């Protein structure tokens, strides 16, 4: 009886080398990642303090991208958690003035809502909207303090009050507040790509903004850190088709620069990506906010 092992001979073209085998695995992994980022979720890093303390600089988020998607068939809504944006949602969206950038803010008003800002306090449909998520800087030398902010609680001086006080001390006439330009129906039709946001002077709308109604097909977005947020007050409403999704978990929180106040570097090329990766690896154990990692932002 022969001890020889029978060798199976594959047809020509079926046998694959190690290089081809590995390339197929890599290509499949890339396609899977692209599918996930396009239709399911995406990683997003908080670069600034505009949402502090709800979201801290260096929070790494996973964003649910299909939550606000429009369903094409009725069965989609039965199998997937899809819905329209709601007041109070934390939203990730394309920045209207530079659609290559993603912003994260809180949706404070939806189409049809009547909005007004009086002495830094936000009112929607006649009701003051406040809570622990809302932060104000009462004194410039201090960190932002969390809400809620009833009428009896001091929120600090408004921009108009600061300007009036400065003008009085310098012997100047008080500056007049400008007109918030985003209520003009024509502005909603304008392609705002590349335009500049409004500046601080002479506009006092950040803290005082007359009553208006959010137009159809748009939402109003504001940062929770109200005195340190470039939001709808400076560049207008967010079109619905700019919405990307809603953050559903902080999968990692990292103190950039070793503290809570240093802005994160937004990668602009492979060099920045490599630097961020090196810093994360080097300071992983000492700069990670373990108490925030794995939390659900609200």
On whether the CB atoms of residues 134 and 120 are closer than 8 A, the answer is no
Number of neighbouring beta carbons within 10 Å of residue 241: 10
Q: What is the pLDDT of residue 61?
A: 92
- Res 187: pLDDT: 81
Its pTM surpasses 0.85: no
Residues 6+ apart with CB under 8 A from 105: 50, 51, 90, 91, 93, 221, 222, 223, 229, 231, 232
3-state SS assignment for residue 169: helix
- Whose CA is closest to 178, among 156, 206, 155, 215? 206
pLDDT (0 to 100) of residue 261:
86
Q: Is 135 helix (H, G, I), strand (E, B) or coil?
A: strand
Q: Please, is 235 exposed, middle or buried when counting C-beta atoms within 10 Å of its C-beta (0-12, 13-18, 19+)?
A: buried
Rounded CA-CA distance 206/133 in Å is 18
> Residue 288 corresponds to which tokens in the numbers above?
């990670």
Low-confidence ranges of the chain (pLDDT < 50): 28, 32-33, 35-39
Of residues 228, 81, 65, the one with CA closest to residue 145: 228
Query: Are the CB atoms for 143 and 126 separated by under 8 Å?
Result: no
266-293 pLDDT, tens per residue? 777 778 778 888 888 888 888 999 999 9
Domains and CATH numbers, the chain: 26-287 (2.10.109.10)
């Amino acid at each position: 009886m022969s001890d020889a092992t029978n060798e199976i001979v594959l047809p020509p073209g079926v046998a694959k080398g190690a290089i081809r085998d590995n390339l197929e695995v890599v290509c499949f992994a890339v396609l899977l990642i692209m599918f996930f980022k396009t239709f399911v979720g995406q990683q997003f890093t908080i670069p600034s303090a505009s949402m502090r303390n709800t979201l801290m600089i260096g929070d790494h988020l996973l964003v649910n991208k299909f939550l606000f998607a429009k369903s094409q068939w009725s069965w989609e809504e039965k199998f997937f958690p899809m819905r329209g944006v709601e007041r109070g949602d934390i939203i990730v969206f394309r920045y209207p003035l530079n659609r290559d950038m993603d912003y994260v803010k809180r949706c404070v008003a939806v189409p049809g809502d009547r909005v007004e800002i009086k002495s830094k306090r936000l009112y929607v449909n006649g009701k003051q909207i406040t809570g622990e998520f809302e932060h104000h800087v009462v004194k410039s030398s201090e960190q932002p303090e969390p809400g809620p902010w009833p009428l009896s609680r001091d929120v600090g001086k408004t921009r108009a009050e600061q300007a009036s006080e400065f003008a009085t001390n310098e012997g100047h006439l008080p500056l007049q507040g400008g007109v918030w330009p985003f209520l003009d129906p024509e502005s909603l039709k304008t392609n705002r790509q590349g335009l500049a946001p409004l500046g601080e002077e002479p506009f006092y709308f950040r803290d005082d903004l007359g009553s208006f109604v959010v137009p159809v097909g748009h939402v109003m977005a504001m940062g929770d850190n109200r005195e340190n947020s470039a939001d709808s007050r400076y560049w207008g409403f967010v079109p619905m088709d700019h919405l990307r999704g809603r953050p559903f978990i902080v999968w990692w929180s990292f103190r950039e620069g070793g503290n809570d106040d240093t802005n994160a570097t937004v990668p602009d090329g492979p060099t920045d990506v490599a630097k961020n990766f090196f810093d994360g690896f080097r300071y992983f154990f000492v700069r990670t906010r373990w108490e925030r990692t794995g939390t659900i932002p609200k």
